[in-house]
Amino acid sequence: MTEAQKDYDKVHTLSRNARTLAGISSLLEWDQETYMPPDGALNRAEQLKTLAGIVHKERTSKKFAKALEKLIDLKTGTISVNSLSVPQQASLKEWRRDFLHDTALPNKFVKDFAKLASQSQLVWREAKKEDAFKRFAPFLEKIVAMNRKKAEYLGYKEHPYDALLDIYEPEATTAEVGQLFTHLREAITALLKKITSAKQVDDSIIKGDFPQDKQIALGEKLLAAMGYDLKKGRLDISTHPFSSSSHPSDSRVTTRIYPESPINNISVILHEGGHGLYEMGLPEEHYGSPLGEAISLGVHESQSRWWETRIGQSKAFWTYFLPIMQEMFKGKFDNVSVDAVYKAVNKVEPSFIRVDADEVTYPLHVILRFELEKALIEGSLKVRELPEAWNGKMQELLGITPKTNAQGVLQDVHWSMGAMGYFPTYTLGNMYAGQMFETFAQAHPDWEKRVASGDMLFIKEWLAKNVYHHGRRYTPKELIQAVTGKSFTAQPYIEYLNKKYREIYFL
């Protein structure tokens, strides 16, 4: 073993220790959203604050810096050894990036931010139930203020939102995202205008009474068909569905059940299962290093939306899945055709809740949040003005106005988590998935026939080879280039939406 490899292994060991501690924190957060008794909230906030401080100290320690500096210049990013593999060199660059980010944030700030986020999530949950924005507003004001401070600590060139966006989507900028979203907004609003003028799809066939226990059983069956290993994961219920991973051998998902229709649950299972498969598919031997981590939240979202929309909302999927639904829900789907169900699950209609939105209007929900977040961070919008601004944007983009704040500004958990700069990754993920799916379909021209027969494991295998396997070897745009042989563009996503929905609505 070379000296460089020994030094690399030392850095990896130190980094793995910090990742293990972060994994414990993620389990506490998962428990907070699923099984924690309400009165445990204050202590849980202290636990998360303490752990956040310990993890931060581990990741910014002199010991870690000294070990890393043997391999890469922390100021310039120049790698000082040439005997490491190309992926290991990429790992060094990502470790340096993380170290510079972590050391830019004071330990007290990190602990205070973690405590605030834990407290805010619990207040948000109650405020949403009670439709009481004023109850959550003081916490949101603190979150906005701390995010502004975080942006100052991290530094930025053009806009403070750049620093926050870069946390979740490396190298993305506010200006670039704004340009992409403007183009997408124009394309989608033009398509939506034509759809709303056409004859509406009947979705009454997918509504009725569907017991929770059967929906959970259906979810587990669907996860298994995707290749999700229930020995390494589990399915639970939470207020806001999410995926949580502490290790490739422990990646959990949650869902939300609507008794009047199983479609929301199916979509959530596919979505969160897509996240879970990514985490389970990361190379375990690299756990604790950048090569054992997801590239970005945008790439993560490409995996969830891939399964939820490109597979789960395809006619091929319903050719396979409708008979299963008929078997599990006796009498509910008798004499219903695959074509009718396919159109029903793809019904386009502006709605208030982002996670329930159809494929066409979904990006407009994200654009709304991006524009509001940007305004909050730059100071052109005050928290107290947010409900009115939210409702105005909903009317502008979707032509509807929420009747309550629970339906509007209080619907998402993300701001209570302190996550600002996160929302754009949802639509970037759709764009990434759109471009990669073209390449996948070229490699598997028979994919629809295979899915219709119930075979979906080959999809997971393709994603494992082309996405999971790499860890953070590439930036998001480099991954798209490596997978597709082309530079990143939103065009495949736009073309997909137009082709699919013009056919469904006979445009």
Q: Which pair of tokens denotes residue 133? A: 């924005």
User: 450 by DSSP, 3-state: which?
Assistant: helix
As a whole number of angstroms, the distance between CA 302 and CA 477 comes to: 13
What one-letter code names the amino acid at 287?
A: Y
285 as an active site residue: the answer is: no
Quote the tokens at residue 369: 């949040």
Please give the C-alpha separations between residue 49 and each of 25, 43, 102, 112, 394, in angstroms, as whole numbers: 9, 10, 16, 7, 36
Contact 300, 433 (CB under 8 A): no
The torsion angle over the Cα atoms of residues 86, 87, 88 and 92, rounded to 10 degrees, is 100
Report the b/e string of 272-292 with b at 16+ CB within 10 A: bbbbbbbbbbbbeebbbbbbb
Concatenated DSSP letters for 21-79?
A: HHHHHHHHHHHHHHT--GGGHHHHHHHHHHHHHHHHHHHH-HHHHHHHHTTB-TTT--B
> What is the β-pairing status of strands 235-237 and 250-255?
parallel
Quote the radius of gyration of the chain (alpha carbons, Å): 23
Task: Tell me how long the chain is.
Answer: 507
Q: What are the angstrom distances between the C-alpha of 46 and each of 57, 136, 142, 379, 464?
A: 17, 20, 18, 30, 38
* Token pair recorded at residue 12: 């990896």
Give Dmax over CA atoms of the chain in angstroms.
69
Fill in the DSSP letter of residue 406: T
Identify the active-site residue in 58, 94, 272, 293: 272
Q: Cα–chain-centroid distance for residue 157?
A: 26
Determine the residue type at 415.
Answer: W
Intra-chain end-to-end CA distance of the chain, in Å: 64
- Identify the H or E element spanning 429: helix 424-443
Sheet hosting strand 243-247, strand order edge to edge: 235-237, 250-255, 243-247
- Active site (catalytic) residues: 272
